[in-house]
């Protein structure tokens, strides 16, 4: 399809090498790469993430407090949970999905010229893994990664349905993110204005993901294993499934729930909470026949914001978000993947 990025062409060398390796390792079961390949396929179970009904926050004091405690507990034990009655209507979620489908249906050439076609700045449209050095570092996906202030600017200019839908989505999801961050801080004993002051629309991002069908789903990820570099992420996924996360040292698959939004803790909250809340590795696997869509909202501070733990003794040294992003980008360039928080241990 001319809307799909040229994965086959870009990844040809990796695929050619992989078939040679597989042929060799089929005769020699000792090969580590081969074991790694197996790991994509082995999923131990499909799970329901902890499900939290946010309407309980509006009920009496003790119900609200219990709900907050569940949010904090899930963030410690899973790093992931899902919420219902989150304030984003199912009409808006559906509209977002259909606008997203339309934009990805455009030809690859058109999407690659996003600054002309969608009025987004260069670099908004991304696909694959430009820095990959092995088959395991490939991503079979494409995305629009858009700063919120660009979304608000396009919507104000009345450009199209996509912009106004993204704006409505971003606005409602932003207030949910702030609410959750404040609850998580409060549960650590910190009633603070930190998130309100530092995580502004100009510093947060919306990412529309598409995972095209992949001819070799057992060998290539839709998105490589990673943790998110933000405070927290709010994700809406469609019915196809494919998101997996690490729980108790095993990969498990997240069962899609159309009503729910998925929340996951990012690296910055892990650092800020001094390892109380967990930023957990997750990945997306591909599907042979069906394309998959998801929309992610990244709750980030400005680059100047200093991240330091809310209690002593601190596990991580103090760092700015800009410094963190820079180190992540350097590691991806040099090593093919992110190192993340371990670089910032005291
Ligand atoms: O598509 C998904 O389910 C996960 C997306 C994700 O992890 C990301 O955009 O960073």
pLDDT of residue 20: 62
Domain membership flag for residue 267: yes
| CA atoms within 13 Å, Cβ hemisphere of 1 | 11
pLDDT of residue 133: 79
Domain membership flag for residue 318: no
Residue 216 per-residue DSSP state: -
Which one, of 110, 134, 136, 114, lies nearest residue 124 by Cα?
A: 114
Q: Residue 89: CB partners within 8 Å, gap ≥ 6?
A: none
Please check the confidence at residue 156 and state whether its pLDDT lies above 80: no
Please check the confidence at residue 234 and state whether its pLDDT lies above 50: yes
Distance in Å, CA 296 to ligand 1 centroid: 6
| CA atoms within 13 Å, Cβ hemisphere of 238 | 17
> Are the C-beta atoms of residues 315 and 274 closer than 8 Å to each other?
yes
Choose the residue to mutate in 210, 235, 246, 258 for probing ligand 1, maximizing ligand atoms within 8 Å of C-beta: 235
Domain membership flag for residue 139: yes
Residue 222 CA: which ligand 1 atom is closest?
A: 1
Please check the confidence at residue 237 and state whether its pLDDT lies above 50: yes
Residue 296 CA: which ligand 1 atom is closest?
A: 9
Choose the residue to mutate in 225, 282, 291 for probing ligand 1, maximizing ligand atoms within 8 Å of C-beta: 282
Burial 277-301 (b: 16+ CB within 10 A, else e): bbbbebbbbbbeeebbbbbbbbbbb
Domain membership flag for residue 13: no
Distance in Å, CA 313 to ligand 1 centroid: 33
Mean pLDDT confidence for 198-214: 95
pLDDT of residue 21: 55
Please check the confidence at residue 159 and state whether its pLDDT lies above 70: no
pLDDT band at 23 (very low <50, low <70, confident <90, very high): very low
Number of independent structural domains in the chain: 1
Ligand 1 pocket (Cβ < 6 Å) reads 207, 209, 223, 228, 235, 237, 243, 282, 284, 294, 296
Residue 107's CATH number: 2.60.120.330
Beta bridge partners, 47, equal: 254
pLDDT of residue 40: 53
> Are the C-beta atoms of residues 270 and 278 closer than 8 Å to each other?
yes
Strand arrangement of the beta sheet that strand 243-247 belongs to: 46-47, 250-254, 243-247, 282-285, 221-226
SS3 220: coil
Per-residue model confidence as pLDDT tens digits over 305-342: 999 998 889 999 999 999 999 999 999 888 878 999 99
Q: Which of 292, 317, 325, 343 is catalytic?
A: 292
SS3 145: strand
Q: How far apart are CA 6 and CA 25, in angstroms?
A: 28
Beta bridge partners, 205, equal: 147, 298
Mean pLDDT across the chain, nearest whole number?
A: 89
Domain membership flag for residue 328: no
pLDDT of residue 120: 78
pLDDT of residue 19: 63
Choose the residue to mutate in 210, 227, 296, 338 for probing ligand 1, maximizing ligand atoms within 8 Å of C-beta: 296
pLDDT of residue 1: 66
Give the tokens for residue 164.
């106004």
Query: What range defines the domain where residue 224 resides?
Result: 39-313
Domain membership flag for residue 31: no
> Are the C-beta atoms of residues 272 and 71 closer than 8 Å to each other?
no
Q: How far apart are CA 323 and CA 229, in angstroms?
A: 12
SS3 7: helix
Domain membership flag for residue 28: no
Domain membership flag for residue 166: yes
Assess whether 73 carries a catalytic annotation. no
pLDDT of residue 34: 43
């Amino acid at each position: 399809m001319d809307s799909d990025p040229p994965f086959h062409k870009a990844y040809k060398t990796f695929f050619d090498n992989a078939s040679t390796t597989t042929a060799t390792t089929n005769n020699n079961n000792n090969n580590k790469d081969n074991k790694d390949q197996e790991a994509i396929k082995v999923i131990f179970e499909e799970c329901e993430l902890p499900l939290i009904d946010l309407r309980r926050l509006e009920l009496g004091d003790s119900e609200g407090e219990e709900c907050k405690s569940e949010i904090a507990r899930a963030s410690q034990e899973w790093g992931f949970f899902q919420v219902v009655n989150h304030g984003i209507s199912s009409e808006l979620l559906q509209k977002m999905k259909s606008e997203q489908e339309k934009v990805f249906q455009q030809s690859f050439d058109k999407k690659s010229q996003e600054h002309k076609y969608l009025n987004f700045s260069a670099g908004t449209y991304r696909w694959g893994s430009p820095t990959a050095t092995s088959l395991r570092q490939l991503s079979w996906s494409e995305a629009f990664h858009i700063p919120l202030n660009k979304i608000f600017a396009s919507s104000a200019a009345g450009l199209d349905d996509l912009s106004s839908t993204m704006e409505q989505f971003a606005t409602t999801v932003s207030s949910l993110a702030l609410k959750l961050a404040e609850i998580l801080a409060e549960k650590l004993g910190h009633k603070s204005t930190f998130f309100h002051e530092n995580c502004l629309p100009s510093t947060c991002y919306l990412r529309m993901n598409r995972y095209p069908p992949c001819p070799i789903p057992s060998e290539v990820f839709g998105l490589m294993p990673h943790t998110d570099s933000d405070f927290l992420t709010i994700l809406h996924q469609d019915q196809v499934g494919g998101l997996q996360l690490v729980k108790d040292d095993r990969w498990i698959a997240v069962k899609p729930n159309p009503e729910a939004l998925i929340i996951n803790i990012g690296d910055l909250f892990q650092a800020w909470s001094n390892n109380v809340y967990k930023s957990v590795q997750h990945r997306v696997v591909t599907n042979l026949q069906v394309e998959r869509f998801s929309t992610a909202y990244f709750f980030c501070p400005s680059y100047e914001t200093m991240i330091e733990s809310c209690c002593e003794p601190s596990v991580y040294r103090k760092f700015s978000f800009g410094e963190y992003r820079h180190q992540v980008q350097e590691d991806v360039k040099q090593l093919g993947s992110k190192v993340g928080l371990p670089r910032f241990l005291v």
